[in-house]
């Protein structure tokens, strides 16, 4: 697909934030367990005064529809369980997504176990997708990084990572779980969660200076 670079900023794996998704080992948990995925291509509409959250779009390479990025959100119940990619409600095909490097390594190692069932798993997953997108209302989705909401969002992420990294991983690897390690992990992931939440607040709430004041956003 070709995009008007004057109208859209195009995010691919070459962008530092997208590259972070690929190289961060912690995000393999989000990808493999939760099924949280990000598309290979994200578009940011330049000609608008709205926040970045409201002017982010995901193009479908099959039918060329531009989906509002908020289509896949926790409020809609569609942010997770996207193991095979993002479902296009227009053509009912799958929008390709990037893969975390550590997810790729783990999937490659375990392929002899799950590879035999891949086609049937994908078919069953795809069959369930239409119901997940019935009656979703993008306009009613609150900004998870607005005002002080970023604190809750950041701490939720940090809490999840604390449980997985500091408790579950050591448990399954038969490592000793000590009070000292738990306290250290709790402090580190609390700080990491707040940093993550605040960073996302700045990034997602950023708007563009009056560049698009007289241009209707319905052009998207």
Tell me: pLDDT of 208 over 60: no
- Residue labelled with tokens 């479908």: 60
Tokens of 77: 């119940």
Cα–Cα dist 143/148, whole Å: 10
pLDDT in tens, 25-74: 878 888 999 999 999 999 988 877 777 778 889 999 999 999 998 899 88
Q: What is the pLDDT of residue 32?
A: 93
3-state SS assignment for residue 195: helix
Half-sphere exposure of residue 29: CA atoms within 13 angstroms, side-chain side: 14
Most confident by average pLDDT, 48-57, 136-145, 179-188, 209-218: 179-188
pLDDT in tens, 137-154: 776 666 666 677 778 778
Q: What does the CA dihedral 52, 55, 56, 59 come to, rounded to 10 degrees?
A: -170
Tell me: pLDDT of 108 over 70: yes
Most confident by average pLDDT, 25-39, 93-107, 143-157, 198-212: 93-107
Contact partners, residue 28, CB within 8 Å, separation at least 6: 100, 102, 103, 106
Q: What is the pLDDT of residue 146?
A: 66
């Amino acid at each position: 697909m070709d995009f008007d670079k004057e109208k859209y900023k195009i995010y691919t794996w070459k962008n530092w934030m997208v590259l972070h998704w690929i190289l961060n080992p912690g995000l393999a948990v989000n990808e493999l367990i939760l099924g949280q995925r990000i598309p290979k291509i994200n578009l940011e509409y330049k000609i608008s005064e709205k926040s970045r959250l409201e002017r982010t779009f995901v193009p479908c390479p099959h039918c060329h529809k531009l989906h509002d990025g908020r289509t896949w959100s926790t409020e809609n119940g569609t942010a997770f369980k996207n193991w095979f990619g993002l479902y296009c409600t227009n053509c009912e095909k799958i929008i390709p997504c990037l893969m975390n490097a550590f997810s790729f390594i783990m999937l490659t190692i375990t392929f002899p176990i799950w590879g035999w069932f891949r086609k049937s798993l994908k078919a069953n997953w795809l069959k369930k997708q239409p119901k997940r997108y019935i009656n979703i209302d993008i306009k009613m989705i609150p900004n998870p990084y607005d005002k002080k909401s970023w604190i809750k969002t950041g701490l939720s992420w940090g809490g999840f990572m604390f449980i997985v990294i500091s408790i579950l991983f050591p448990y399954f690897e038969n490592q000793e779980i000590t009070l000292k390690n738990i306290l250290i992990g709790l402090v580190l992931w609390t700080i990491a969660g707040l940093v993550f939440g605040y960073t996302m607040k700045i990034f997602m709430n950023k708007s563009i200076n009056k560049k698009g004041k007289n241009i209707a956003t319905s052009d998207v």
